[in-house]
Amino acid sequence: MYCLCPSFHFYRLSSLVAIVFSSSGGVKQTNVAKLPVKDDSTYNLDERYIEKRLEDSLREDKNSGCEIPKLDPFAPEVTKFDKDLPKIVCYGVDWVKCYLDECKVVPEILRTTRDIICTYNDILYESDAKYTIGPSIEIRGADVYPLIKSDHVKVKCTGTHENSILPSKWLGHGIGFRSTVHPKSPPPGRENTYDILFLGFDSTAKNGFIRRMPKSYKVVKELLGATVLNSYNIVGDGTPAALFPFLTGKTELELPDVRKKTKNNDSLDNMPFIFYRLKDDGYRTAYFEDMPWIGTFQYRFKGFVRQPADHYLRAFYLEESQNGKKWASKPRRYCVGDTPQFELMLNITDQFFKLDGKKFGFTFIADITHDDFNMIPTADDALAAFLTDFMEKGRGKNTMLLLFGDHGPRYAYVRDTLQGKFEERLPLMAIRLPDDLVKERPNAQKNLERNAEVLTTPHDIHATILDVMDMRKEWNPYKIKGADLTRGLTLLEPISSNRSCSEAGIEPHWCSCLSWEEVVKSDPMFTKTGKALVDFINSLTDEARSKCVPRTLQSVQWSMRKRPNNGVLTFVAAKDMDGYVGKFGKQLNADREDYTVKITVNPNNGVYEGSLIYYKAEDRFEIDSRDISRINAYNNEPSCISATLPHLNMYCFCKEFL
């Protein structure tokens, strides 16, 4: 989920060029690499640039394996930031509730209010950018309003309370499932493939979930018997870097460019989202996400022209939240009528799995975790109850459950700690396989448990759900050049413990299993890395220099150097056909060094982290803006250019504020 203020901005290169800095401080542009041009037009320069970086890293870390740090969820370094906040309480009583395909006045209101007339208006989705309100239809008393044209309604009711002669009024919204959705008949032999449920929380690290959701975690481990992946690593920044691989098997750069800043008429409809393939296979599909004003596929992207799934909440939340204006009202922001929004999301997910046919559901809850992860404990009881109910209703028999976080905290204070830096990269991923699948393929569960300690990514999750649904032919065959195996691997088969970040498609900036050493202050590289990062930031804002002041280095908080293990430096070739056993020789001297540095800049104490490549022989740095994170909130610093140059938001400080 992308935020309007605290930002880790993804910036797509416009050409195959990187900014490099010499020791003299000069700035120049240089070609990164001469790469062969591929006939496939979907390969663009940006994609090949990232491919080349992964290929370079692969030559260093192939078959080196990965050891994820053993982090204590309750370490004082992170628990000192935990706060016990009041639970969300929503007031009032909703006059109307919807359940499945019917909406009607609740019994409590019927008992206390007479002469009830409710006016229903369907909320009609037209595109991600537009919805309309349907004609008014009056329903009296206890009569039912059937959901036919839309899953969502706007409702206005009047009546006279038993203790008053004055009329009472109520305004609200309802969600259900229109009766007119009829999944296709599955192809012969595919009538009983498994259901899938993704249930996610924004900004939720594995350790954060253990620490702040104890009841739910106990249910996950003891009642569900789910497997928690301990070496599950993100592959990029923000929510899209998780959801694109989950739902398409590809990264953003491998898909058509549909960012808002791109001048074309494309939309996300042309991308290979799994919903489309599953509809043809007879699945009923749902995509439920709250906070649409910063939606995963709408904040930076043009969104969908046609709703991607049979059941889709965007139009509902745009109307109910007044396009996000409700978020400014602290008493109401977490509520939809008399119900906490996270509970509404769980309720509608529960109802979805009561519908007929095969089902693929994706629910992503952001409101209680996006801005402050300390809010998540308010959902502990409800989530524990939901997961318990999942088992008690027998859904574990034929449904695969994936409980996940898209990434860990990205701009909270905990992110300033070394453990917080790792937690950002190590989100929650807990998987429970269907009981029937475990009986059918007993090795699948054993392999899943073994793979819990092996480096895994969102690409593997995509391969795994396809495996569970017996759709392996849909796997993405993509390999990093020089790798022995595909980037995405099913967790139901053994994954080599020798797998490295580059083989898995993880760039160094996001890799949690790199070994780092601290650069001491007396080392010239301590200050040199900080200056290089500031120079690069200023080069990005050059195009707006009339409005944005140059940043100056205030301090280097720390600088870290990648420390390759001996296996990397002495690796010569694979010794066996599978590439699992290495052949080693004389140790090599690396001609490049990887650094990560954290700096504070003037004006206004902006805090940045960045990854840099230093080429020793040439005494120059190579920096990619994708590898820079803004750690603290920039608030209104870039307001003078936000409308015209939003990609510079996290770098620009407007002159008018000096």
Q: Does residue 372 lie within any of the structural domains? A: yes
Q: Does residue 351 lie within any of the structural domains? A: yes
Shared domain for 476 and 625, answered yes or no, is: no
Does the pLDDT at position 21 exceed 70?
Answer: no
Shared domain for 276 and 209, answered yes or no, is: yes
Final residue of a domain: which of 485, 512, 539? 512
Q: Does residue 69 lie within any of the structural domains? A: no
Of 393, 599, 483, which Cα lies nearest the Cα of 61?
483
Q: For residue 588, what pLDDT is reported?
A: 41
Q: For residue 567, what pLDDT is reported?
A: 34
User: How many C-beta atoms surround the C-beta of residue 167 within 10 A?
Assistant: 12
**Residues 6 or more apart in contact with residue 541 via CB below 8 angstroms:** 548, 550, 551, 648, 651, 652
Looking at residue 624, which CATH number applies to its domain? Answer: 3.10.450.10
Shared domain for 280 and 421, answered yes or no, is: yes
Q: What is the C-alpha separation between 480 and 472, in angstroms, rounded?
A: 20
Structural contact between residues 392 and 457, judged by C-beta atoms closer than 8 angstroms: no
Q: For residue 617, what pLDDT is reported?
A: 86
Q: What is the C-alpha separation between 488 and 475, in angstroms, rounded?
A: 8
Looking at residue 219, which CATH number applies to its domain? Answer: 3.40.720.10
Alpha helices (H) in 426-523, listed in sequence order? 435-440, 442-451, 458-468
Record the tokens describing residue 419, joined without a space: 């453990």
Shared domain for 468 and 575, answered yes or no, is: no
pTM of the model: 0.78
Three-state DSSP class for residue 336: strand
Shared domain for 498 and 634, answered yes or no, is: no
pLDDT confidence bin for 46, thresholds 50/70/90: low
Give residue-wise pLDDT tens across range 428-439: 999 999 999 999
Q: For residue 579, what pLDDT is reported?
A: 24
Q: For residue 40, what pLDDT is reported?
A: 37
Q: What is the C-alpha separation between 472 and 474, in angstroms, rounded?
A: 5
Final residue of a domain: which of 487, 512, 537? 512
Shared domain for 341 and 359, answered yes or no, is: yes
Residues 306-322: what's their mean pLDDT? 97
User: Which domain, by its residues, includes 611?
Assistant: 515-657
Structural contact between residues 401 and 224, judged by C-beta atoms closer than 8 angstroms: yes
Three-state DSSP class for residue 570: helix
Does the pLDDT at position 578 exceed 60?
Answer: no
Residues 61-71: what's their mean pLDDT? 85
- The CA-to-CA distance between both ends of the chain, in Å, stands at 31
**Residues 6 or more apart in contact with residue 43 via CB below 8 angstroms:** none
Lowest-pLDDT range of 140-154, 284-298, 344-358, 414-428: 414-428
Q: What is the C-alpha separation between 133 and 124, in angstroms, rounded?
A: 6
Q: Does residue 57 lie within any of the structural domains? A: no
Q: What is the C-alpha separation between 197 and 380, in angstroms, rounded?
A: 19
pLDDT confidence bin for 572, thresholds 50/70/90: very low
Final residue of a domain: which of 462, 482, 512? 512
Residues 560-580: what's their mean pLDDT? 41
Q: For residue 33, what pLDDT is reported?
A: 32
β partners of residue 200: 364, 404
Give residue-wise pLDDT tens across range 619-640: 999 999 989 999 898 999 999 9
**Total domains in the fold of the chain:** 3
Sequence letter at residue 205: A
Shared domain for 292 and 206, answered yes or no, is: yes
Q: Does residue 65 lie within any of the structural domains? A: no
Of 570, 594, 573, which Cα lies nearest the Cα of 582?
573
Does the pLDDT at position 96 exceed 90?
Answer: yes
Does the pLDDT at position 28 exceed 60?
Answer: no
Shared domain for 520 and 504, answered yes or no, is: no
Structural contact between residues 300 and 205, judged by C-beta atoms closer than 8 angstroms: no
Does the pLDDT at position 221 exceed 50?
Answer: yes
Shared domain for 344 and 447, answered yes or no, is: yes
Q: What is the C-alpha separation between 334 and 379, in angstroms, rounded?
A: 11
Q: What is the C-alpha separation between 305 and 147, in angstroms, rounded?
A: 23
Q: Does residue 83 lie within any of the structural domains? A: no
Q: For residue 11, what pLDDT is reported?
A: 30
Residues 84-92: what's their mean pLDDT? 95
Residues 126-153: what's their mean pLDDT? 98
pLDDT confidence bin for 45, thresholds 50/70/90: low
Q: Does residue 86 lie within any of the structural domains? A: no
Does the pLDDT at position 14 exceed 70?
Answer: no
Shared domain for 380 and 436, answered yes or no, is: yes
Shared domain for 168 and 209, answered yes or no, is: no
Of 467, 468, 431, which Cα lies nearest the Cα of 451?
431
Q: For residue 413, what pLDDT is reported?
A: 78
Does the pLDDT at position 35 exceed 70?
Answer: no
Q: For residue 583, what pLDDT is reported?
A: 40
Shared domain for 127 and 273, answered yes or no, is: no
Structural contact between residues 187 and 386, judged by C-beta atoms closer than 8 angstroms: no
Lowest-pLDDT range of 114-128, 161-175, 179-193: 161-175
Lowest-pLDDT range of 34-38, 98-102, 210-214, 545-549: 34-38
Q: Does residue 31 lie within any of the structural domains? A: no
Record the tokens describing residue 9, joined without a space: 């901005």
Three-state DSSP class for residue 220: helix
Q: For residue 322, what pLDDT is reported?
A: 93
